[in-house]
Amino acid sequence: MTEEALKKAARLAGAALLDSLPPPEDCDHVFAPVFEKKMSRLLRRARHMGLYTALRRIACFLLAGLIGGSVWLTVDAQARERFFGWVREETKSTSQHYFYEGESADEAENVRYRLPEIPEGYSELDVLDSANGQSFLYANDDGEILDFGYLTKRTKTTSSDIFFQTDGMEKKQVAVHGLPADFYLDTSGKIANGVVWVDREADVLCYLSGYLSEEDLIALAESVTQEK
């Protein structure tokens, strides 16, 4: 069978298949609300699909993954700071590694956090769940990403590590609800700023990154609420 003959026959078969179907406009169906909800999220994601793909590839100040402690052999032991049960270590590649060093919880903490209001022009793009937390991605029409997430204590079977790439960013101490927090300021004017703080009541690490000013990002951090 030649490739040319196969292509010709495949075209005829494809056309016959389409002819055997009803016209699309005659195929009415009322979809269930759960389908509409899932598709609504997919449509939003599709609007930013290129952005979403690139975001995962070239994240600047963003959750890069939950990483096992054994990877962190290149940590500069001097650059280590503690926030309640959490520790921040600066790696030699100028990334920031936050991990939980306090006592393990018996099971994953049942706490959830939300941004009660997102800045004007942003809509939800995706929600990423991990064993010990969640990350909420929002985007505006300019393709700017806002990322809010939190990480609860490790358990006996899960670790609580988070890694932020902060190359070229200036780290400074700020206050969220009057308590010390780490602010990462982009000095190039090209990437998102970020803030990392600990909810001391629950010992949960929270973070926000976005193309917002220091003042706006901290105000947004202070608006985060815990869902009971």
* Between 5 and 73, CB nearer to another protein: 5
Contact between 28 and another protein per CB under 8 A: yes
Residue nearer to another protein on the CB measure, 25 or 117: 25
Strand segments, DSSP code E, in the chain are 75-83, 86-91, 95-100, 112-114, 122-130, 133-140, 145-151, 161-165, 169-176, 179-186, 193-199, 204-210, 225-227
Stretch that binds another protein, among 33-41, 85-93, 95-103, 217-225 (CB under 8 A): 33-41
Looking at the Cβ atoms of 70 and 188, the one nearer to another protein is 188
For residue 127, the SS3 value is strand
Gap between the Cα atoms of 119 and 89, Å rounded:
31
For the record, the structure tokens of 185 come out as 């300021």
Q: What are phi and psi of 173, to 5 degrees?
A: -90, 130
Binding of another protein by 47 (CB under 8 A): yes
Distance CA 150, CA 133 (A): 5
Closest CB 133 distance from another protein, rounded Å: 24
3-class secondary-structure state, position 150: strand
* 144 vs 191: CA distance, rounded Å: 10
With beta carbons less than 8 A apart as the criterion, state whether 147 and 51 touch: no
What is the x/- site pattern for another protein, positions 165-194, by CB under 8 A?
-------------------------xx---
- Could you tell me the smallest distance in angstroms from the CB atom of residue 59 to another protein? 10
- Using the contact rule CB under 8 A, the part of the chain among 55-63, 110-118, 154-162, 175-183 near another protein is 55-63
Smallest distance, another protein to C-beta of residue 152, A: 29
Residues that bind another protein (CB under 8 A): 1, 3, 5-22, 24-29, 31-32, 34-35, 38-39, 42-43, 45-51, 53-55, 58, 60, 142-144, 190-191
